[in-house]
Amino acid sequence: MPSLTLADLQARLGGTVRGDASVPLNGAASLEQARPGQLGFLLSRKFLAAARASGASALIVAESLSDTLPQPCLAVANPHACFARALRLLYPEPRPAPGIHPSASVAADCVIDATAQIGPGCVVETGARIGARSVLGPNCVIGAGATLGEDCRLHAHVTVQHGCAIGHRAILHPGCVIGSDGFGLAWEGNSWLKVPQVGRALLGDDVEVGANTSIDRGALDDTVVEDGVKLDNLIQIAHNCRVGRHTAIAACVGIAGSTRIGAYCQIGGAAMIIGHLEIADRVTISAGSFVAKNLKEAGTYTSVQPLMRHADWLRNAAHLRHLDGLARRIKELENQIAGMPAPTQQEPP
């Protein structure tokens, strides 16, 4: 871990230092757990008390908050982004060690940049291409004809299936699968016949894919994940989906086949989106929601049941089977009331 001063951070990241710019920093932590020598950050006034009490030796803060803190501060317009960059300086990624590990199996006709690193146990099949400075962690598998751009970082056990293409600066976490077959079946006689999946999965630049997430290849045309899309763990992107640029999807989400998600969307964890839908740009789906219709307008959409004590749920949920009956009874009451004599107390005196 390198040691940097607050002045070093300012020199690289901009902003204004308040207090002692020479304070040495060798790591970062939360406000609660920070010890001397560590950097913290403060995003909002809500955590001001925690910041004041923090053991951090320096803080990255919003400009409006920097005056109020006892610690030396780097005041910036976007403290979250600045802190992210400071973390990369304090915890630099290991530099690629160019070369192909002797235990890797690499087909003779692959084109692997001399600056790329192919880890132990990797398998790179015929015709694959790996760009400059890209790193394949241990036991990754790159299928025939697949391509990776520059500066990609594949962690352990990643699978990229044949023919798929991934842009620059991708980050693929352990166990994720790019380009698995879509779930294409034709019914014939008395059983299912597999429909060969001959499209590809195409990922743009700056895409991140979480652990054990799967992105299916297209059935005929391609599945497309556009630039800047961020996918968390255990997500399913089915065949022929398109995920628009800079959309972020939290863990455990499933998106069924041929659905198109717009750009700048945010999809909460465990949401489920059925197939063949169009979701507009800048749509937010709440965690746990079920989406079964097109969403043509930006906004936030939700469909979850509120949690109750189980005994309350038993009492309430039974009525969900009879909502139609309740609604009809209300209508009937309204009809009956409409035919009643006018209320007496409404009569003029």
CA distance 255 to 279: 11
- Dihedral-angle region of residue 43 (phi above 0 means left; psi in -120 to 50 means alpha; beta otherwise): alpha
HSE at residue 88, side-chain half, CA atoms within 13 A, is 8
Q: Report 159-188 residues binding a copy of itself (CB under 8 A).
A: 159, 161, 171, 173-175, 177, 180-181, 183-188
Binding flag, residue 155, a copy of itself (CB under 8 A): yes
Binding flag, residue 333, a copy of itself (CB under 8 A): yes
Query: Based on CB atoms, which residue is closest to a copy of itself, 32 or 67?
Result: 32
- Dihedral-angle region of residue 260 (phi above 0 means left; psi in -120 to 50 means alpha; beta otherwise): beta
Shortest distance in whole angstroms from residue 225 CB to a copy of itself:
14
When binding is defined by CB under 8 A, the residue of 35, 276, 293, 296 that contacts a copy of itself is: 293
Of 101, 155, 239, 276, the active-site residue reads 239
Amino acid at the residue 80: H
When binding is defined by CB under 8 A, the residue of 49, 53, 111, 327 that contacts a copy of itself is: 327
When binding is defined by CB under 8 A, the residue of 96, 98, 145, 254 that contacts a copy of itself is: 254
Are 57 and 69 spatial neighbours (Cβ–Cβ below 8 Å)?
no
Binding flag, residue 310, a copy of itself (CB under 8 A): yes
168 part of the active site: no
Q: Report 190-219 residues binding a copy of itself (CB under 8 A).
A: 190-196, 198, 206, 208, 210-212, 214, 216
Shortest distance in whole angstroms from residue 96 CB to a copy of itself:
14
CA distance 299 to 318: 32
Which residue from 20, 54, 21 is spatially nearest to 35, judged by alpha carbons?
Answer: 54
Q: Which residues contact residue 178 at a Cβ distance below 8 angstroms, ignoring those fewer than 6 apart?
A: 158, 159, 160, 161, 164, 166, 172, 201, 203, 209, 215
Binding flag, residue 139, a copy of itself (CB under 8 A): yes
Q: Report 260-289 residues binding a copy of itself (CB under 8 A).
A: 268-270, 272, 274, 284, 286-289
What residues act catalytically?
239
